[in-house]
Structure formats: structure tokens, C-alpha cells
Amino acid sequence: MSAESPLTLTVAVLTFRRPEQLAELLPLLFEQTERLRAAYPGRFDAGVLVVDNDPASSGAPATESHIDCTDLRYVVEPRPGISAARNRALSESANSDLLVFIDDDERPSTDWLPLMVGTWLDSGAAAVAGAVQSTFDPPLDPWIEAGGFFTRRRLPTGTIVEVAATNNLLLDLRRVRELGLTFDEEFGLTGGEDTLFTQALTASGATIVWCNEALVTDVVPTDRATRKWVLLRWVSMGNSQGRVLIHLAPSRPERTRARVKMGAGGVARIIGGAAAATAGIGTRSMQRRASGLRTAARGAGMTSAAAGYVYQEYRR
């Protein structure tokens, strides 16, 4: 590639049976690619890729009003699971220099894409992770809010992180191809595939940096804003955390030690979380009750992973 040739960037949105959400997001992504071109004239060619993980192509109608848009591609990945869909995004971006992931239930802030790219240009990192915040309609149950179930990390821009989620992530595909990285499809229906991928990236010596201003908003539906859902979500997070740690262990003895460590840590969280929740009852502290149960739920997931149980949050 000559020095004057623009870099190619693909914004990939994965979708599964949420056509209304996708229809709302696509115009916002086209705005983002225009903002990127305006911020960096002549330096980037950008387009949008929709990967539909529904074999019935339920996302297709959302793309029909943009049928004449040359910046849009729509493909169906029939193999179930988020890892298969993310790997399809990787393969469909074989000619791109950069790949940016965003979820179909998220909405980007005004200069989200230029900020992500600007942080990449400034840092030379292999990946840039952006911030996520959640929004709710109707207002969130005070118990869930007190327990911090939807609290997300916020860090100063430029902070180096060891692991990142893929719901707001820029990847330098040249580095990814050099390392031969893909998303492990064993984790496709469970979650944790992004943890495994980004840990492998940083373990190779590559760097992930944080961009705090490149914010996306996660639109949480009513059925995910219940006490049952959030507790099961933290069970799932603990389970995938444990499975990733065990998966990364290089030998059978190391895997055994990882199971023991994860099981002990899980039991400690169950006991500590239950004690905090009980104390919260006595002191009438909603925060202690809710956060205690959150800790115990994560501990239950970790303990189940140590025992070999696979929690399939995205089973179909």
C-alpha cells in the first residue's frame, strides 16, 4: 500500500432477531462514517457491515431502505453463536485495515468513531476499547441500581488495559492477522469469547488502550432489567470468567490448579456475599443486600465453572 492510500475501516454490527434496534442504529453508523471522513479527509475509507446470526435473515428488512448505500454490506452467518458471528466479521473484513465492533442494541455518541480512530492513531495500539453506559425505560428498579449490576468501568483515555469487551472495540486487523487470532467458538453460546480473544492479544505483547470519550449507550430492554435477569447475568459472568481461566491453563496440572483456585474464590464470594446481604437485611441497607447477592451470584458462577458446568447464556 502506498503512503497516500487511505486506510480501510469496517464498522461491524452483529444482530440476532432485533430488526427494530438495527433499523435505529444503521443511520447513526452512516453518520459516524461521514464524521470520520470529515475529521480525517482522504485518510479513511469506511463502511458498515451487518452480520445477521439469524438463519431466517430477520435483520434484512432493516437494511432495505439503505439498499443503494455502497457503504453497507449485509451477510447472514447461519452458524449459531456470537463467536461465529464475530469470526464472520473478521473474514468479511479481510481487505480492511481496521475493524470496529458495536452491538445492535447500542447507540454511539456524537464523535464516537473519530475518537476511537484518533486514539488508535495517537497510541499505535493493537486495539482501542471504548466506554459503555446503560439506559433504561422505564427507570431502573432502585434495588438493581443500588447493587451496581449495570455499573461499567470508566478510565482515563490512554490507560492500558489487559482485557476488553467487544461491544465497543477497535481492532488493528494487521496485528490480529499477524497473530492468527480468531474468536473461540467453544464460547459462542456462553459469552467470554471477547475476554479470551483480548487476553490472547495482550499476552502476545500487543497493547489495548482505553478511550473514555468514545462512549456508546446500551439500550436495556425491560426484560433485562429484572432482579432475576441481573442475578443470572452475574452467574454467567462468573462462569465464563472461570472457564476462560481454566481454558488458558497450558497443561493438565495447571488446569487442575486453575479449577481449585476458581472454586475457592467462588466459595469465598458466595460466603462473603451472603454475609453482606444478611447484614444488609439487619441494617436495612438496600445497597448491601443487592451488592451482596451480586457478589454471591458471581461466586456461584465461578464455582460451577470449577466443577465443569457450562452456563449457556445465549443458548437457543
Residue range 188-216, pLDDT digits in tens? 999 999 999 999 999 999 999 999 999 99
Please give the pLDDT value at position 66: 87
C-alpha span between 272 and 238 (Å, rounded): 15
Expressed in angstroms, the distance from the first to the final Cα of the chain is: 43
Would you say residue 311 lies in a domain? no
Q: What is the pLDDT of residues 292-309, one digit of tens each?
A: 999 999 999 999 999 999
pTM attached to this predicted model: 0.94
Of 221, 248, 283, which closes a domain?
A: 221
CA distances from 143 to 176, 280, 287, 301 (A): 41, 12, 7, 21
DSSP single-letter state for residue 185 = G
Q: Examine the domain organization and report whether 119 and 187 are in the same domain.
A: yes
Q: Examine the domain organization and report whether 51 and 186 are in the same domain.
A: yes
DSSP helix/strand/coil, 195 = helix
Q: Examine the domain organization and report whether 137 and 285 are in the same domain.
A: no
Of 221, 240, 262, which closes a domain?
A: 221
Q: What is the pLDDT of residues 94-109, one digit of tens each?
A: 999 999 999 999 999 9
Place of cell 488495559: 161
DSSP single-letter state for residue 186 = G
Please give the pLDDT value at position 296: 98
- Checking if the pLDDT of 176 tops 90, the result is yes
Would you say residue 1 lies in a domain? no
Would you say residue 2 lies in a domain? no
Would you say residue 108 lies in a domain? yes
- Checking if the pLDDT of 2 tops 50, the result is no
Q: Examine the domain organization and report whether 25 and 119 are in the same domain.
A: yes
Whether residue 90 contacts residue 184, with contact meaning beta carbons closer than 8 Å, is answered with no
Q: What is the mean pLDDT of the chain?
A: 95
Confidence at 244, pLDDT banded by 50, 70, 90: very high
- Checking if the pLDDT of 163 tops 90, the result is yes
- Checking if the pLDDT of 1 tops 50, the result is no
Would you say residue 314 lies in a domain? no
State the pairing for strand pair 208-220/160-161. antiparallel
Residue ranges making up the domain that contains 300? 227-306
Q: Examine the domain organization and report whether 159 and 250 are in the same domain.
A: no
Would you say residue 80 lies in a domain? yes
The CATH number given to whatever domain includes residue 140 is: 3.90.550.10
Q: Examine the domain organization and report whether 35 and 130 are in the same domain.
A: yes
CA distances from 57 to 15, 53, 280 (A): 10, 8, 48
Closest CA to 225 of 296, 156, 143, 311: 143
Q: Examine the domain organization and report whether 214 and 234 are in the same domain.
A: no
How many CB atoms are located within 10 Å of the residue 143 CB?
A: 15
Q: Examine the domain organization and report whether 272 and 193 are in the same domain.
A: no
Number of H helices, E strands in the chain: 10, 9
Q: Examine the domain organization and report whether 131 and 253 are in the same domain.
A: no
* Averaged pLDDT, 277-300: 97
Whether residue 12 contacts residue 88, with contact meaning beta carbons closer than 8 Å, is answered with no
Whether residue 176 contacts residue 208, with contact meaning beta carbons closer than 8 Å, is answered with no
